[in-house]
Chain A
Amino acid sequence: MRPGPASLLLALLLLPVASAEDPLEARVLAAKAKVFPALVHIVNVEEGFMLGRRQKSVSTGSGFFFDAKGHVVTNYHVAGEGKMLVVTLASKREVEAKLVAGDPYTDLAVLEVDPADAFPDGTPVFATFGDSSRLEEGDFVMAMGSPLSLARSVSLGIISCRERTLDQLEVAGHETGRFNTWLQTDAAINPGNSGGPLVNLDGEVVGVNTRAALLANNIGFAIPSNVVRDVVAALLREGRVPRSEIGVKLQPLGALEHTLLASAEAGALVAAVDFGSPAARAGVRPGDVISALDGAPFAARFEEQLPSLYARIARLEAGKEARLSVRRGAETLEIPVTPEPLGRGLGLEGEAAAWGLTVRAITPRMRIEMGLPDDRGVLVTGVRVGSPAADKLEQGDVIREVDGAEAKGLAEFLDAMGKAKGPFVRIAFRRGQVADVTVLRPLVPR
């Protein structure tokens, strides 16, 4: 007799479901129990600059305690530039936090909560880091955090890829991910999960949930815990992650093998050399193949291998000569290069409120990417409608002089604009290739 619909439904209902005795569920519950109490929801009030004025905004995200001192790790894009931070503990109690330091290059930040507030019963509750290098595709992981501000949420999935590279992710103008690969997971990650832990079934944090692909089904990305551990240690120790650079952009050799440019020998191709950088001064050229750094092999066949090479350059001591072994055509060269400290990607921003202008200091990185002749002046980031600067200056202009004096940087510019007297202030600026002048007249004539 063929089974009828009623018997089919019954069969479905009688399918075995996981129970507390199920090893997977038991491990999930145990792992959750270890990390969940350390989970926090973060509300951050930060100041930004928009439409030519300073403005406050609120963002939310996730984080977790990782030591007994009340330190919380989260993403830089959640709280790295926070002014007023409130965290909600697993007990639903709200407490204040303060920013310790942040690292935009890895999109990580460390906050501090007074241990008396964080652990009111005197028992520290914090999560421990696992070894992300031991992860494999298919390992079960849980994402914990506040998706869409729905605090204390847990989702379950697996590691989909353990070394993903992502192009052009920027946090505050820094190339996030340049020094690390990402863990890809199908554990649901949504806005608000940022900064929350990715947890293995042993209840260890193996990543910090950071990104998710839009318009996709559960393609999320986390920063591997081994990267998090190093960055957090540096932030607590020095308030920053010291890094060096030599000013090269690298390409893996894989696609170029068996071409006139690259032999089958290992190395990393120099795709670009920043103008005026240590590598440019040392004579490194695009097309060179770096085969060793200070005598140790230096090679990338695939994109995924590049972050570790950039990280090795970043670990060089600034000011101390390093040695590049380079193949240039048939030649083999040893090129000494002196690394420089890696600076901010984007300069600090400020507001000349009376004139309706927000501006940003120009960093060497901005100079290179914008093709500016030098890093003098300040970049106009916004012009307030109806202000003295409206219709005179535009976003993207570079102000070079105020009342005949050079605007060397943000502080000098803001100072000069604050001191400006007379019926107008004279501004010399560049707009693309054009060098122009104008005058700004105060709304209330002096």
Chain B
Amino acid sequence: MKGGFGGMRAILLLAFAGVVSAEDLPVWIVRVTTERASFGAPSRQTLLAPALPVEEGGLLVVGFALEPSDDKDEALRVTAIDPKGATVPAEIVGGDEELNCTLFRLTGMKPDPVPLEAAPCAAGDEVVLLSRHGELMRYAPRRGAARVDAAVTSPRPLFALTIEALAWQGAVAMTREGKLVGFVDNRPTVTEGTGIVLGLGAQTPVLVPADAFADVPRNLPRKDRPRGWLGVNLAPFDEDREAYFGVETPQDGAFVTGVSEGSPADLAGIGLHDVIQSIGDLAVRFEKMEEWGPMLRAVQRLPLGKPLACRLLRFRQLPEGGYETTPVEVQLTLEARPLDFADAVETELEDLGLKVKPLTQDWRRSNRVPADLHGVVVTRTEHASAVQIGGLAVNDLILKVDDRPVADVDALKKAIAEAKTAKRTKIVFFVRRGQATLFLTVQPG
């Protein structure tokens, strides 16, 4: 522990009027409203959080990690309120669970970003906290102060604050001179190295320096920035898996529990139950589930389309029952990650009350669809629509329409248009539901 926690300090909720103006750091508010049907009535929840503009029209919020929702029963509305009180539409880009933050994107505007650089801070310093909780505070940013009680390094510098800062979750912290220091995040425990735990109660307010978030806008998946893709399922190469193969000296690496056919890993010759130890210059370390996120992001950042040396441990079963371990090196060329089902574009066939998405590789895998089957996936059927009355259901895979194969959304549209042109009173859908198939008749119009 680098600084003394030294017992309770005096409450430092100081009035800083005249010391720092609201314009010193442009703190926004992000407002996320979710609405879902609950026992027939809509249930609405609103989340308000302070946000700081960062690069490329993004707003960074600390204190929770949200992902874009693909829950069709949930309506999500995201808006941002600028420092002057104007409301701007926004959307969730993604969350980083390790840093407990979310990046939002403003629609149609890019405010001047605040560089994510942390002003120096040490135990004993006072910081100014800026937040804008609640719409009542819209024109009068809420201010407070806290004293840094301890500086901790695990896995990056953190500063434990006076306990009063608990109420300031997500607040932007700056120096009295108005320079950005970081964000307040309440954490259950704060550990330094191994074994040292700081915390007065269930939560400890922590000041996370701003530079810890510098990579967040770059690392979060973007539609316009392809992520590297290996095409494997990975599990930690932990004590149990080492014991299974009789590995006596602990080894770093990620254990391969599945390889997608035709994926970069498959083409490189990476096999089931290999242990990936390095890819290019990246040493792969995955011993605990907590290491999953950082490892995944590191792999996704590797260059695409360029052969990389990949070191593996490979196990060969011996006739007497044990395993022989052999180091192997293969050449791996990462590709851009294929489109996830969640990110796939949803198409609405309005007059049928039907929404569909293309069959993506991840959906095919998770629903055990054989490689030779092609179709489109039903994502929504409107209440009392023609398709719902006909029996189509969410997650049906439409294989044929009127005996015409439907390989993609365009083929589906074309087949339906043709049926309508021919003035057919019934359209026959051939769908796969679970592991079986069935025919359904839909009466359009």
Q: Which residues of A contact B (CB under 8 A)?
A: 249, 251, 255-256, 258-261, 269, 271-272, 286-287, 329, 368-371, 392, 403-404, 424, 426-428, 432-439
For A427, the chain B residues whose CB sits under 8 A away are: 244
Cα distance A157–B426 when bound, in Å? Answer: 41
The residues in B between 225 and 273 inclusive whose CB is less than 8 angstroms from any CB of A are: 233, 235, 240-241, 243-245, 255, 257-258, 272-273
Cα distance A269–B436 when bound, in Å? Answer: 14
Cα distance A329–B366 when bound, in Å? Answer: 33
The residues in B between 322 and 336 inclusive whose CB is less than 8 angstroms from any CB of A are: none
Partner of B257, one of A261, A287, A434: A434
Given A260-B402, A434-B233, answer yes or no on A368-B426 (Cβ-Cβ < 8 Å): no
B438 adjacent to chain A (CB < 8 Å): yes
A-B contact count (CB 8 A): 84
Most buried by A among B233, B244, B258, B321: B244
The residues in B between 387 and 445 inclusive whose CB is less than 8 angstroms from any CB of A are: 402-403, 424-428, 430, 434-439, 441
Given A260-B402, A368-B435, answer yes or no on A435-B425 (Cβ-Cβ < 8 Å): no
**A260, B403: Cβ atoms closer than 8 Å:** yes
**B244, A439: Cβ atoms closer than 8 Å:** yes
For A428, the chain B residues whose CB sits under 8 A away are: 244
For B38, the chain A residues whose CB sits under 8 A away are: none
- Closest chain-A Cβ to B199's Cβ sits at a distance in Å of 27
For B273, the chain A residues whose CB sits under 8 A away are: 435, 437
Given A426-B244, A434-B233, answer yes or no on A259-B428 (Cβ-Cβ < 8 Å): yes
- Closest chain-A Cβ to B109's Cβ sits at a distance in Å of 43
Query: 7 A-B contacts, Cβ less than 8 Å apart?
Result: A286-B430, A369-B434, A435-B257, A435-B273, A436-B255, A437-B245, A438-B241
**A269, B439: Cβ atoms closer than 8 Å:** yes
- Closest chain-A Cβ to B60's Cβ sits at a distance in Å of 34
For B402, the chain A residues whose CB sits under 8 A away are: 259-261
For B426, the chain A residues whose CB sits under 8 A away are: 256, 258-259
For A434, the chain B residues whose CB sits under 8 A away are: 233, 235, 257-258
Interface size on B, residues (CB 8 A): 32
**A436, B438: Cβ atoms closer than 8 Å:** no
Cα distance A404–B317 when bound, in Å? Answer: 8
Cα distance A434–B272 when bound, in Å? Answer: 10
Cα distance A428–B272 when bound, in Å? Answer: 12
For A255, the chain B residues whose CB sits under 8 A away are: 441
Cα distance A251–B272 when bound, in Å? Answer: 41
Closest 8 CB pairs of A and B: A371-B368, A437-B244, A272-B437, A272-B436, A434-B257, A271-B438, A439-B243, A436-B257
Partner of B365, one of A256, A433, A437: A433
Interface of B (DSSP majority class): mixed
**B436, A271: Cβ atoms closer than 8 Å:** yes
**A404, B243: Cβ atoms closer than 8 Å:** no
Cα distance A403–B317 when bound, in Å? Answer: 11
**A286, B437: Cβ atoms closer than 8 Å:** yes
**B403, A261: Cβ atoms closer than 8 Å:** yes
For A287, the chain B residues whose CB sits under 8 A away are: 403, 430, 439
Cα distance A426–B242 when bound, in Å? Answer: 11
- Closest chain-A Cβ to B365's Cβ sits at a distance in Å of 5
**A271, B439: Cβ atoms closer than 8 Å:** yes
Question: Smallest CB-CB separation from B432: which chain A residue?
Answer: A272
The residues in B between 316 and 367 inclusive whose CB is less than 8 angstroms from any CB of A are: 317, 321, 365-366
Partner of B366, one of A272, A404, A426, A432: A432
Most buried by B among A258, A261, A427, A436: A436
- Closest chain-A Cβ to B238's Cβ sits at a distance in Å of 9
Question: Smallest CB-CB separation from B233: which chain A residue?
Answer: A434
**A260, B366: Cβ atoms closer than 8 Å:** no
For A286, the chain B residues whose CB sits under 8 A away are: 430, 437, 439
Cα distance A427–B235 when bound, in Å? Answer: 15
For B366, the chain A residues whose CB sits under 8 A away are: 432-433
Given A287-B403, A370-B435, A404-B321, answer yes or no on A437-B241 (Cβ-Cβ < 8 Å): yes
Question: Smallest CB-CB separation from B438: which chain A residue?
Answer: A271
Question: Smallest CB-CB separation from B320: which chain A residue?
Answer: A404
The residues in B between 286 and 337 inclusive whose CB is less than 8 angstroms from any CB of A are: 317, 321
**A369, B425: Cβ atoms closer than 8 Å:** no
Given A260-B403, A438-B244, answer yes or no on A433-B233 (Cβ-Cβ < 8 Å): yes
For B244, the chain A residues whose CB sits under 8 A away are: 426-428, 437-439
**A256, B428: Cβ atoms closer than 8 Å:** yes
Given A260-B424, A260-B428, A424-B243, output 15 extra A-B contacts at Cβ < 8 Å: A258-B426, A259-B427, A259-B441, A368-B435, A392-B240, A404-B321, A428-B244, A433-B233, A433-B366, A433-B368, A435-B257, A437-B241, A437-B244, A438-B241, A438-B244
- Closest chain-B Cβ to A187's Cβ sits at a distance in Å of 32
For B317, the chain A residues whose CB sits under 8 A away are: 404
Most buried by B among A259, A370, A371, A432: A259
The residues in B between 148 and 174 inclusive whose CB is less than 8 angstroms from any CB of A are: none
Most buried by A among B240, B243, B245, B272: B240
Question: Smallest CB-CB separation from A404: which chain B residue?
Answer: B321
Question: Smallest CB-CB separation from B436: which chain A residue?
Answer: A272
For B430, the chain A residues whose CB sits under 8 A away are: 286-287
**A438, B437: Cβ atoms closer than 8 Å:** no
**B428, A436: Cβ atoms closer than 8 Å:** no
For A435, the chain B residues whose CB sits under 8 A away are: 257-258, 272-273
Cα distance A259–B440 when bound, in Å? Answer: 11
For B240, the chain A residues whose CB sits under 8 A away are: 392, 437-439
Cα distance A445–B195 when bound, in Å? Answer: 29
For A329, the chain B residues whose CB sits under 8 A away are: 403
**A261, B439: Cβ atoms closer than 8 Å:** yes
For A392, the chain B residues whose CB sits under 8 A away are: 240
**A261, B436: Cβ atoms closer than 8 Å:** no
The residues in B between 100 and 154 inclusive whose CB is less than 8 angstroms from any CB of A are: none
**A261, B434: Cβ atoms closer than 8 Å:** no
- Closest chain-A Cβ to B288's Cβ sits at a distance in Å of 14
Question: Smallest CB-CB separation from A254: which chain B residue?
Answer: B441
Question: Smallest CB-CB separation from B401: which chain A residue?
Answer: A260
Cα distance A260–B321 when bound, in Å? Answer: 59
- Closest chain-B Cβ to A120's Cβ sits at a distance in Å of 53
Most buried by A among B241, B321, B365, B441: B441
For B235, the chain A residues whose CB sits under 8 A away are: 434, 436
- Closest chain-A Cβ to B362's Cβ sits at a distance in Å of 10
**A371, B439: Cβ atoms closer than 8 Å:** no
For A439, the chain B residues whose CB sits under 8 A away are: 240, 243-244
Cα distance A249–B434 when bound, in Å? Answer: 14
Cα distance A427–B365 when bound, in Å? Answer: 24
Cα distance A392–B238 when bound, in Å? Answer: 12
For A403, the chain B residues whose CB sits under 8 A away are: 321
Most buried by B among A269, A370, A371: A371
Cα distance A287–B401 when bound, in Å? Answer: 12
For A269, the chain B residues whose CB sits under 8 A away are: 439
- Closest chain-B Cβ to A332's Cβ sits at a distance in Å of 17
Cα distance A404–B435 when bound, in Å? Answer: 30
Given A287-B403, A403-B321, A435-B258, answer yes or no on A261-B428 (Cβ-Cβ < 8 Å): yes
For B424, the chain A residues whose CB sits under 8 A away are: 259-260
